[in-house]
Amino acid sequence: MVGDGIEGLAAARLWAATRFPYLATGVFGAQVIADPGSGTVSVDENWRMRADPELTAQWTPAQLGSVLVHHVCHLLRTHGERAQASGVGAGADRARDARDWIRAADAEINDDLVPAGLDLPGSPVLPRDLGAEDGLLAEQYYAAIRDGRRPVQGPEGGLGGGTRDRSGREKPGDEAGGWLDCGSGADGVPRPGQEPGGLPDWQADLLRRQVAQDVISHAKLAGNVPAGMLRWAEEVLSPRVNWRKVLAAELRRAVFEVSGAVDYSYRRPSRRSAVAGNVVLPALRRPVPEVAVVCDTSGSMTEALLAMVLAEVEGLLQALGLARQVRVLACDYAVAPAQRVSSARQVQLVGGGGTNMGAGIEAAAALRPRPAVTVVLTDGYTPWPPAPPKGMRIVVGLLGPRAPDAPVWARAVRVEPDDLPGGLRK
């Protein structure tokens, strides 16, 4: 079970399991294989670590244990999969992208585990090396690295120089720090000579959930779990659904429930009537619903967020084949006349203090033809009417993290300002 030929592995794992008891299941779940001559310690997506015994012999048990914990975190946080989602390995300079991504992923792991006692050999990548603050996601660090590169020698000129072996990897020949390549488990790019096998995906999922459960129960008992780790565990056990998906489903449902109010009509006989002899069968009729959007334009709304959600709503309605019928009402305390906008950017935030979405909903109900579905985009700080106008379905998009709840008669979707794929959150 203990990797043959790697001296001090047992002590290293024991150190890791003692120092980070909530990660012990993950540390023992990874298979460690000796890989002489590779000059690094790397991990693949199927929980197999390859370590160069010559390299690890230079480390203390605490250092080797820390490298193991670090690699297990790559796997727990599914960095390989997320790298692929971020387009690593698809661009023009694949090697550089992969290097950048690994640094970003390292920063995501190290920002709270290094303060918690991770003792990595060399100088680990920390968010400040990337010119970013702590507590962000690898995707955000990755963006920071790419932004930082545009001016070749930016204000963080020290980033590439000095003693930082991992962060200074840009300089050719500066590879002395060892364990540079974290492997396909960190960037999702398969390495040559990587054999199939290891832990299958579904078992890796179970292992990840088990560790998340350990983290939560350890936090309840002992309470000394880093906050980033705890957020990760909560996200794994009760994943947050992406608001775009919920908004899409709510809108589809509202529109289809109206258009799906199918009625039998004798205006046009059914094409099946010939089969039925003398009986005239009714045909199905499907009204196409009108949709209106009411936008809160009071001062408390942020323009960027509103534009983002409005673009999303327009895209969804277009996919439903309804885009032509959409009318947008800008509303703070009074309601501006309905405008047909062709792009989300045309909606202007003019409002001042007060907000009353009730007025906006009423104005939408007064439109002719009357909309069957109204989408209200607001920050939630508004009075609501006690009931929706008769025969109208209302979907409320609540913008901003602290928006108060929408009334019970509306279907509410919470929209949070994140631009991350899949609503990922650390």
Partner 1 sequence: MSVTPGSNPAAEALGVAVAARVPVLLWGAPGTGKTSAIRAMAQTMGLPCETVIASIREPSDFAGLPIVVGDGVRFAPPAWARRLAEAGRGLLFLDELSTAPPAVQAALLRVVLERAVGDLTLPDEVAVVAAANPPEQAADGWDLSAPLANRLCHLAWRTDPRAVADGLAGGWAAPVVPVLPDGWEAEQIMARGLVAAFLHVRPALACAPPSDPATAGRGWPSPRTWDMAARLMAAAGASGASEEARSALIAGAVGDGAGVEFLAWLVQMDLPDPEAVLADPASFRLPERGDRAYAALAAIAAAVSANPTPERWAAGWQALGLAAEAAPDVGATAARVLAKCRPEGVVEMPAEIKLFAPVLRDAGLM
DSSP of 143-160: HHHHHHHSSTT-S-GGGS
**CB closer to partner 1 out of 154 and 421:** 421
61 binds partner 1 (CB under 8 A): yes
Q: How many CB atoms lie within 10 A of CB 365?
A: 17
152 part of the interface to partner 1, by CB under 8 A: no
320 versus 367: smaller Cβ distance to partner 1: 320
d(C-alpha 56, C-alpha 61), whole Å: 9
Q: How many CB atoms lie within 10 A of CB 237?
A: 13
The closest of 84, 96, 93 to 139, measured between CA atoms, is: 84
What gap in Å lies between CA 388 and CA 410, rounded to an integer?
8
What tokens does 339 get? 């405008």
Minimum CB separation of residue 13 from partner 1 in Å reads 4
What is the x/- site pattern for partner 1, positions 310-329, by CB under 8 A?
A: ---------xxx--------
Nearest to 166, CA basis, from 67, 259, 26, 90: 67
Q: Which is nearer to partner 1, 86 or 167 (CB)?
A: 86
Choose, by CB under 8 A, the member of 11, 307, 365, 420 that binds partner 1. Answer: 11
Q: Is the dihedral of CA 360, 366, 370, 372 positive or negative?
A: positive
Cβ distance to partner 1 smaller for residue 29 or 168? 29
Nearest distance from residue 72's CB to partner 1, in Å?
11
6, 20, 22, 25: residue in contact with partner 1 (rule CB under 8 A): 25
The span of 14-22, 98-106, 108-116, 155-163 binding partner 1 (CB under 8 A) equals: 14-22
Radius of gyration of the chain (CA): 28
58 belongs to the binding site for partner 1 (CB under 8 A)? no
Q: Which of 339, 231, 239 is nearest to 294 (CA)?
A: 339
241 touches partner 1 (CB under 8 A) = yes
H or E, element range at 294: strand 291-296
Q: How far is the CB of 37 from partner 1 (least distance, A)?
A: 25
Provide the binding-site residues for partner 1, judged by CB under 8 A.
1-2, 8-15, 17-18, 21, 24-26, 28-31, 45-46, 61-62, 65, 80-81, 196-207, 209-210, 241, 245-246, 248-250, 252-253, 256, 260, 262, 272, 275-279, 281, 284, 286, 319-321
